[in-house]
Structure 1
Amino acid sequence: MTLPAPQAPDWLDAGRIRSALARNAAEDNKRVAEVLTKARELKGLDLDDVAVLAALTRPDLIEEMYATAKQIKEAIYGRRMVFFAPLYISNRCSNECLYCAFRASNKALVRHTLSQKEIARETEILISQGHKRVLMVAGESYAAAGGFGYVLDSIATIYSVQKGAGAIRRVNANLAPLTIEEFRALHGAGIGTYQLFQETYDREVYAATHPKGRKADFDWRVTAFDRAMTAGIDDVGMGILFGLADWRFEILALISHIAHLEERFGVGCHTISVPRMEPASGSDMATCPPQPVSDEDFKKLVAILRLAVPYTGLIMSTRENAEMRRETYALGVSQISAGSRTNPGGYADEQRFESGQFQLGDHRSLEEVVQDIAQMGYIPSFCTACYRVGRTGGDFMDLAKTGEIKEKCGPNAVGTFLEYLLDYSGPATLAAGEKAIAAEIAAMDTKDGRVAQRLADMVRAGKRDVFC
């Protein structure tokens, strides 16, 4: 099939981004105060604002930015933390991404494409752990498995699995860029969010690190969300692989991308992922990133993104270790994975790591992470309500931008967390969770507290999948 040649995006102006960074390179205390005040209005930041924050070095100002990020996250989403798990269905790929274990020339990797029976088995295991949403992931090579139809069949399989009273209620998809027709089919399959990482917005770096395969076409990849949203997918998730290029340039480019989608479609991205490069089988680049991001800069960029796009979900994966993940929760992170495996069949065969995409930093089980989160005072959430009642795209953003979405997120988090506790957790997690739920309901305003208590009472009475 011959694919149409995409046009170079006019919204990605590298010169404009570098100019913004240059003119805001000197730390300006007055300007920082102005930007943080603007951020507290929950209306987002522009390129110059983000460049000002990216230049911060004074510890007291950085701490003030961190406190502002925490305030903004809780103003919009409260203290709930959404959980999900990745489900890798194939590690076959036709691309040559130099940092990735899945690249076509890596002979050290054991290749495997899951059958529908194997996908069903992986799904059963995730359900038995308590998961309600998964992120389906695949390399860019479906021909041997039946082409793009394999992806659609895999989504249907995941949705079809029942394990006791449990099921996966929402499948998000991390897939290579598609045509508009394929995106329409993906939308018709009932996915939640379509996720795609640009990896880097620096064209020169992109060309050097993606020498072969369809992914070598920068413009085809960077315009994928335009095709997805044209096809009707109104929830999209962006991401950058930090370590390839200057992180300051990357976050300004990301803000430019979001602004473009808002201008063209009236809605920006639903989530932003912030993976740092981790070691991967057979990749020297993954072990020694071209432009590594320090822990301090990593925390800064997480906080900056929360201030710049306050209504967007920030995702922290298990690439990071447990300590770093804990630190970022207070900086604006609102979604996390747990108990992850990055290899096809990894949940059924826990000893098989040789086919993983990268090395994990956090190896704890879902229950261990849930207990940790609850003891920190957060509310683990397994909610999928917005997707299922059509509260997506512009409808979701209208509530998120005003902070009203918390009226849904808070009670729904309580209900789904209690469902997890009663059906899947051990005694210690149950005790920690019950304490966290009681404190959360007590801290809610009267209306939200009543709704949360009603959902909790329904769950205790034996009902499941209740939400507002």
Structure 2
Amino acid sequence: MIVRTEVKNFINVGEIENYLERTKNPDLKRIEAIVQRSLDKNRLEPEEVATLLNANTPQARELIFEGARKLKERVYGNRIVLFAPLYIGNKCINDCVYCGFRVSNPEVLRKTLSMDELETEVRSLVSRGHKRLILVYGEHPLYNADFIAATVEKVYSVKEGKGEIRRVNINAAPLEVEEYKKVKEAGIGTYQIFQETYHPETYKKMHPRGPKSDFLYRLYGLDRAMEAGIDDVGIGALFGLYDWKFEVMGLLYHTIHLEERFGVGPHTISFPRIEPAIGTPITEQPPHMVPDEDFKHLVAVIRLAVPYTGLILTAREPIEVRREVLKLGVSQIDAGSNIGVGAYSTEDKEAYKKSQFTLGDTRPLDVVIRELAQDGYIPSFCTACYRLGRTGEHFMEFAIPGFVKRFCQPNAILTFAEYLNDYASPETRKIGMKRVQEELDNIDNPGIKETLLKYYERLNNGERDLYF
């Protein structure tokens, strides 16, 4: 029997509502001061974030957007890290009203990949150029810690041509400390758990049955992960279940809690919006639908609130929204995604019946990479920090003095060049090589540039996986 330690809810609803109420209609000078504090690379306080969330005039919002763009450039440069989601299985014992996988949904086709099918899926992803995956699981007794660890080990074992998966992240149900340790031993990167909504009353309505109905157990899921030694964790909220301003504050409170207890906040924050799902009427008319302009606002505010936290923009969003939001501080996106269980390696016409929701951006990886390069970004598949132990607190030690830009930019160039040499279409290769040369020319540290040029020459002569 699992004995659960008594915990308190650190999402103080009354306090959040009070902040949001008393910071309404902020003046421009106050907004400018808060944005500048963020540009000085300080994590913002709740009152400051509430003020930015209440900045509703076009002029005030533009101050926030411009601040987010500047901060992204200062901390992350023009890199965009790419990954793909790989759904392992969609069996689930929860009954979340917004989810296509819920146990009471008769329209979803249940499927769990065998180890052979998983290997086929990974080969398909690697053959397209992917290096980073997030494995996604429903909440079901079958998907326990041993199963998750076995799937991670299988993914890492697959080699296809010159490629392989170098980082496996996890999106799965909360575990106990000893279970997290098993998963960590398999070599995972980030463990991601979305609270979905931080508003307890709404949470109860949206999660009527199943283990996920326990708000506090889920809220402390990443505490247990960090107790187990997993120092890269990811948080997120599903926007559309409750007021978007409250959810941003909830993400901030979760960040502060992790910082205060463990000395380091989340490695990533995700902010997906509800998308239609098979057999799930609530997704067609979400209770608190977030318009595009508000969505851009909330992403920019999150960027300013937590300068050193990676922001993940998913392929749920339509192409044009993705292009706009990328500018506002996003550091990671998925691309070439297919969320039907087993659908990367097959022409499965019923893949949508095995999917949790529908995607807004279904462009192939090569197209996304080409457009990123055209728009002045460096697509990156870098995994160096994770493999060299620059994670958790150590990542922050490197990030705060600006080492992210110094080390990650050269690593982004090298992984992008790998993709161009091994997987790119002729059109993408032409555009990408021009981008690579421009980036090489822009490296201003003589020592790093000398080593980078040597690595680049070795890469063009056939070596792979060179990094700083």
Pairs within 5 Å for 1:240-251: 240-251=237-248
Candidates 161, 173, 177, aligned match of 1:176: 173
Partners of 2:5 and 2:244 in 1: CA distance = 26
1:132 corresponds in structure 2 to 131
2:208 corresponds in structure 1 to 211
Code of the aligned partner of 1:117: D
Report the TM-score, using the length of structure 1 for normalisation.
Answer: 0.97
Corresponding residue SS for 2:428: helix
Corresponding residue SS for 1:129: coil
Partners of 1:426 and 1:358 in 2: CA distance = 30
CA RMSD in angstroms, aligned pairs only: 1.2
* Contact residue 346 and residue 353 of structure 1 kept, 8 A: no
Corresponding residue SS for 1:243: coil
- Residue by residue over 1:332-376, the C-alpha shift from the partner in whole angstroms, topping out at 9 and shown as x without a partner, is 001000111112101012432221010000010000100010000
Partners of 2:384 and 2:270 in 1: CA distance = 21
- Residue by residue over 1:108-153, the C-alpha shift from the partner in whole angstroms, topping out at 9 and shown as x without a partner, is 010001100000000000000000010000001143x7x4322111
Q: Which runs of 5+ in 1 are unaligned?
A: none
Q: Give the deviation of 1:63 after TM superposition.
A: 1.5
Q: Give the deviation of 1:181 after TM superposition.
A: 0.6
CA distance 1:442–1:64, shift in 2 (3 Å): farther
CA distance 1:450–1:74, shift in 2 (3 Å): farther
Code of the aligned partner of 2:155: I
* Contact residue 9 and residue 223 of structure 1 kept, 8 A: no
The worse-fitting range, judged by mean Cα deviation, of 156-165 and 433-442 is 433-442
Corresponding residue SS for 2:224: helix
Code of the aligned partner of 2:353: E
Code of the aligned partner of 1:253: G
Code of the aligned partner of 1:242: F
* Contact residue 11 and residue 253 of structure 2 kept, 8 A: yes
Pairs within 5 Å for 1:54-133: 54-133=53-132
Partners of 1:43 and 1:445 in 2: CA distance = 26
Code of the aligned partner of 1:416: T
Corresponding residue SS for 2:431: helix
Q: Give the deviation of 1:457 after TM superposition.
A: 1.9
Corresponding residue SS for 2:354: coil
1:464 corresponds in structure 2 to 464
1:277 corresponds in structure 2 to 274
Q: Give the deviation of 1:449 after TM superposition.
A: 3.7
- Residue by residue over 1:183-226, the C-alpha shift from the partner in whole angstroms, topping out at 9 and shown as x without a partner, is 11111110000011000000000000000000000000000111
The answer as to 2:184 corresponding to 1:187 is: yes
2:305 corresponds in structure 1 to 308
* Contact residue 127 and residue 160 of structure 2 kept, 8 A: yes
1:392 corresponds in structure 2 to 391
Q: Give the deviation of 1:327 after TM superposition.
A: 0.6
Aligned residues: 465
The worse-fitting range, judged by mean Cα deviation, of 284-293 and 208-217 is 284-293
Corresponding residue SS for 2:97: coil
1:361 corresponds in structure 2 to 360
- Residue by residue over 1:65-106, the C-alpha shift from the partner in whole angstroms, topping out at 9 and shown as x without a partner, is 111111111111110100000010000000001111000011
Q: Which runs of 5+ in 2 are unaligned?
A: none
Pairs within 5 Å for 1:433-448: 433-447=432-446, 448=448
* Contact residue 235 and residue 393 of structure 1 kept, 8 A: yes
The worse-fitting range, judged by mean Cα deviation, of 449-458 and 264-273 is 449-458
Code of the aligned partner of 2:455: L
The answer as to 2:249 corresponding to 1:256 is: no
Report the TM-score, using the length of structure 2 for normalisation.
Answer: 0.97
Corresponding residue SS for 2:329: coil
CA distance 1:452–1:77, shift in 2 (3 Å): farther
Partners of 1:71 and 1:422 in 2: CA distance = 32
